[in-house]
Amino acid sequence: MPRHVLITGGSRGIGRALVKAFAAQGDLTAFTYLRSEEAAASLRAETGALPYRCDSRSEEEVIKACKKILSLFHTLDALVINAGTSLYETLEGTSLPQWQDQLNVHLTGAYLCTRELLPALREKKGAVVYISSVWGQSGGSNEAAYSAAKAGLIGLMKAMAKEAAPLVRFNCVAPGIIDTEMLNHFSQEEKEGLSSLVPLERLGTPEDVAKAALFLCSDNASYITGQTLAVNGGMYI
């Protein structure tokens, strides 16, 4: 029986790899995106996965998208909360709107989607994975808002692992430095410098992260809940 899966922020980067990985194993997959219309359309053509334009920060849009997806799928086995943006800024340089935007896209987005989809996930004894970050575990200098939002996701995941047990499992994946467009503000030389911080001596790939999420959503992880799986090449142990 194919499973039904939703991935937020699936148009690019890690989310795109997630959509491809779930679709490749035969899961009926839906994904959200915000701005990358063409990338979303090409992913649909490539995988058959269904795109929905939905801003994770908007309660109205999340409710609408979740209703649409459930009206089509009628059921949900797995949810991966991945949509996000980064903010490289000192705390004093971070404006209140920037601070709130980081909390909204990462944390409020996860809350809204989880809230809307939990009844369906309970029915299927489903699994939820939040894509956090090494900075949510260790704290990143000049990334206070991002680190706080990503640490918040780990707290939300742990609370939900208890609150939704025994029916729904909740886990996080905490990627290290993954080579996506999110790193576009670094030059090639800077990226090579970043690799030298990683014991496994390379940046991560979106596929590295997708494999971990696939595992946590699978029956192979049926006794794992409330955990954060680091996919960081050993940069934070």
Tell how far CA 55 is from the center of its chain. 14
- In this structure, are residues 165 and 144 in contact, taking their beta carbons and an 8 Å threshold? no
Minimum CB separation of residue 143 from ligand NDP in Å reads 10
Helices marked H in the chain: 13-24, 37-47, 59-73, 96-102, 109-123, 134-138, 144-163, 188-195, 206-217
Letters for 95-134 (x = contact with ligand NDP by CB under 6 A, - = none) are: ----------x-------------------------x-x-
Q: What share of the chain is helix, strand, coil (3-state, %, to 5)?
A: 50, 15, 35
Q: Which residue's CB is nearer to ligand NDP, number 32 or number 171? A: 32
The total of other beta-carbon atoms located within 10 Å of residue 111's CB is 18
Q: Which of 14, 43, 65, 144 binds ligand NDP (CB under 6 A)?
A: 14
Minimum CB separation of residue 181 from ligand NDP in Å reads 4
Active site residue 146: yes
Task: Tell whether residue 92 is a contact of ligand NDP (CB under 6 A).
Answer: no
The total of other beta-carbon atoms located within 10 Å of residue 126's CB is 24
Task: Tell whether residue 195 is a contact of ligand NDP (CB under 6 A).
Answer: no
Q: Which residue's CB is nearer to ligand NDP, number 4 or number 57? A: 57
Output the six-digit token pair for 153: 């996701």
Distant-in-sequence, close-in-space partners of 226: CB < 8 Å, separation ≥ 6 = 157, 158, 161, 162, 170, 171
Task: Tell whether residue 182 is a contact of ligand NDP (CB under 6 A).
Answer: yes
The piece of 79-87, 156-164, 190-198, 218-226 that touches ligand NDP (CB under 6 A) is: 79-87
Minimum CB separation of residue 185 from ligand NDP in Å reads 11
Q: Dump the DSSP string for 117-139.
A: HHHHHHHTT-EEEEE--HHHHH-
With tokens 């997630």, the residue in question is: 18
Letters for 134-173 (x = contact with ligand NDP by CB under 6 A, - = none) are: ----------------------------------------
- In this structure, are residues 138 and 196 in contact, taking their beta carbons and an 8 Å threshold? no
The piece of 121-129, 154-162, 176-184, 221-229 that touches ligand NDP (CB under 6 A) is: 176-184
Active site members? 146
Task: List interacting residues with ligand NDP (CB under 6 A).
Answer: 9-15, 32-36, 55-57, 82-85, 105, 131, 133, 175, 177-178, 180-183
